[in-house]
Amino acid sequence: MDELWGLALSNLTSQVIVVLLVVVATLVAYVLLLKYSQWFRSLIKKKGYKVPGPSKRLLAFCLDYLALNILATFALLIFVFTLPDAKVQLNTYLKEALADDWYLLKYDFNYSQYVLLAVYCFYSMVAELSSWRGTLAMNRTDMMVVNLKGEKPKPVQLFTRNLLKYGVIVYWPFFIGFIFLNPGRRWMHEIISKTKTIEV
pLDDT digits (tens, 9 = 90+) for 46-85: 555 677 877 788 888 888 988 888 888 887 777 767 767 7
Q: Name the least confident of 18-32, 79-93, 143-157, 173-187.
A: 18-32
Whole-model pTM: value is 0.67
Q: Name the least confident of 57-61, 98-102, 136-140.
A: 98-102
Judged against a pLDDT cut of 60, whether residue 45 lies above it is answered with no
Phi, psi of 130, rounded to the nearest 5 degrees:
-75, 180
Count CB neighbours of 13 within 10 A.
10
Instruction: Give 114's contacts (C-beta < 8 A, 6+ positions apart).
Output: 170
Provide the strand spans (E) within 45-163. Answer: 143-147
Reference 15, options 4, 23, 3; nearest CA is: 23
- Alpha carbon 120 to chain centroid distance? 9
Count CB neighbours of 120 within 10 A.
22
Judged against a pLDDT cut of 80, whether residue 5 lies above it is answered with no
- Determine contact, residues 134/163, Cβ cutoff 8 Å: no
- Determine contact, residues 163/156, Cβ cutoff 8 Å: no
Give dist(CA 93, CA 104) in Å, integer: 9
Q: Average per-residue pLDDT in the chain? A: 76
Phi, psi of 149, rounded to the nearest 5 degrees:
-95, 0
**Domain map (residue ranges) of the chain:** 44-199
Mean predicted confidence (pLDDT) in 89-113:
66
